[in-house]
Amino acid sequence: MRSSTQRSLSVRGYRMPAEWEPHRGTWLSYPHNPKSFFTALKGAQESFADMVACLAQVEEVHINVNDQLMEDDLSAKLARRKVKKNVFFHRFATNDAWCRDHGCVVVCNDKTGQLAATNWIFNAWGGKYPSAKDNRIARKMAGFLGLERFDFPWVLEGGSIDVNGRGVLLTTESCLLNENRNPQLGKKQIEALLKAAFGVRKILWLKDGIAGDDTDGHIDDIARFTDPRTIVTVEEKDEADVNHAICEKNIRLLKGFTDTDGKPFRIVRLPMPRPMYYRKDERLPASYANFYIANGIVLVPVFDCPQDADALRILEKLFKGRRIVPVRAADIIVGLGTCHCLTQQIPAG
């Protein structure tokens, strides 16, 4: 494995595939940190096991665990769900469960069929939490997968970007331009870096993230590509809710965006779930946009509220040919993320 310059990937023909493109598998990290999940940890682990059981039916599932005790715990949960194949454990110790952000982002070369791993600095969303173990995960993943690794000396999390596979990348100013990430880089420099690393030609910037999001506004809680020409985005109809103004501003921006051919995107609105809190005053970033697209299925977080059914119906129409799988997320969200935050895809190449 070796690193290379920031320009090498795009020059060599690499790009970041859209999430709906074929996967070899999914990589995850087992939830274990009581400082993140508090009394909801056991429930979060059960929902995690549900996710693994679904994913193992359609692709490989690779899971980071800290030790034998953790592996045995999850193995027992999977045995109860009759999971017998496609699950691979890795003794790669983590600080927390959010593999979307601390895992490597894998890019592909359409001409050669080769894959490569991009390794970025992970600083736990601006130094908010311990991250030394998590910051080593991308290297370990790349090593196991046998991929050429490209090391980038800048901070970037996988949940802060989304691509349509056709040259467009969606992100937020509140995250990527935050001084707690790469204060030495301006907006144009960050755009050049994203284009070079992920083979995109156009960057679309939304403004702020939803309330309760400790990542400073990751895109995967706000707006997601569901095909090259469609973006689904969250809306909050209650004008008294803090998320209403945030969502409306982002929707106005989305309506003005165009693809690399200058054509506007189809914008589909997705409801927000009821406001959720931990300890009464801590708003949780619950969002149906935090779904994960795998081979033949879409894992969608649900929160035991009336909006669940509406969100599932909307996503079912957008992902024809894929089975929509609800994932109980009331406990997982206590850790401030759900399905997409927990997962990192490994493209098929």
Let me know if 339 is a catalytic residue.
Answer: no
Task: Please pick, among 54, 175, 339, 341, the residue that the annotation labels catalytic.
Answer: 341
Dist. CA 1–CA 211, nearest whole Å: 40
Dist. CA 180–CA 173, nearest whole Å: 12
Terminal CA-CA length for the chain: 18
Dist. CA 44–CA 62, nearest whole Å: 18
Half-sphere exposure of residue 202: CA atoms within 13 angstroms, side-chain side: 13
User: Is there a contact between 302 and 291 (Cβ–Cβ < 8 Å)?
Assistant: no
Is 159 in a helix, a strand, or coil? helix
Taking the CA atoms of residue 103, residue 80, residue 72 and residue 291 in that order, the dihedral angle to the nearest 10 degrees is 10
Q: What is the DSSP string of 316-339?
A: HHHTTTSEEEEEE-TTGGGGT--H
Q: Any idea which residue has 């569901």 for tokens?
A: 226
List residues with catalytic annotation. Answer: 341
